[in-house]
Homo-oligomer: A and B are copies of this chain.
Amino acid sequence: MTREPVPDDGLTTRQRRHQPLLAVYTGPMKGKSTAAFGMALRAWNAGMPIAVFQFVKSATWRVGEEAAFTALGEAYSRTGMGAPVEWHTMGAGWSWARKAGTEADHARAAREGWREIQRRLAAERHGFYVLDEFTYPMTWGWVDVDEVVETLRGRPGLQHVVVTGRDADPRLVAAADLVAEVTKVKHPLDTGRKGMRGIEW
């Protein structure tokens, strides 16, 4: 085992242990959100308040993850173990907004979601943010990439952020501390198998 390099950044080990992480899970496979939610399990156990912002149209896509994290949030309420969990879905209408978004104004709904995230980051409201499928509103020009990068770079305190979705913009990748791709080697849907409850959703 080689020794870790000592970085020339003027920080103490303790400071380096307490830096907010910006992670991006990208690439063509579905496992990127799966990996982000797996990360959130550790954050939950470490007592970081979790907030998931799901930038996808269909509210059914993450039904398994949502149910599990809701149960973890309830476990926290009941026993104090772990951390609180909030789950917000764009497709179902953001839970803090007055009414559900319609088919016609996804762009507006995405921007509203991003504004809310900006407010929460400024207020240091959560410890671990999952911005699920958030690359798409950026790709489609609904949310400005430079503004996202600036907001994330300047966020106060110890707030970890994980962004998932295909085709992450190079500016977001450049700003991220951890970038991982899930690469498909072989997938059952390629051979005509059907999606299964408990596996695909």
Contacts and interface: CB of A to CB of B under 8 A. Distances in A.
Given A176-B186, A181-B185, A192 B16 contact: yes
Interface in A44-69: 44-48, 63-65, 67-69
A192 B74 contact: no
Given A6-B192, A31-B35, A198 B71 contact: no
Contact of A43 (B17, B26, B48, B199): B199
A145 interface: no
A160 B199 contact: yes
Indicate how many identical chains form the complex: 2
Interface residues of A, number: 72
A152 interface: no
A177 interface: yes
Nearest to A174: B186
A31 B6 CA distance: 24
A127 B58 CA distance: 27
A141 interface: no
Interface string A188-199: 110111111111
Interface in A165-201: 173, 176-189, 191-201
A199 B182 CA distance: 18
A123 interface: no
Given A185-B180, A192-B4, A199-B160, A45 B31 contact: no
Given A9-B192, A43-B198, A180-B183, A71 B81 contact: yes
Contact of A48 (B19, B69, B182, B198): B198
Interface in A14-32: 16-19, 21, 25-27, 29, 31
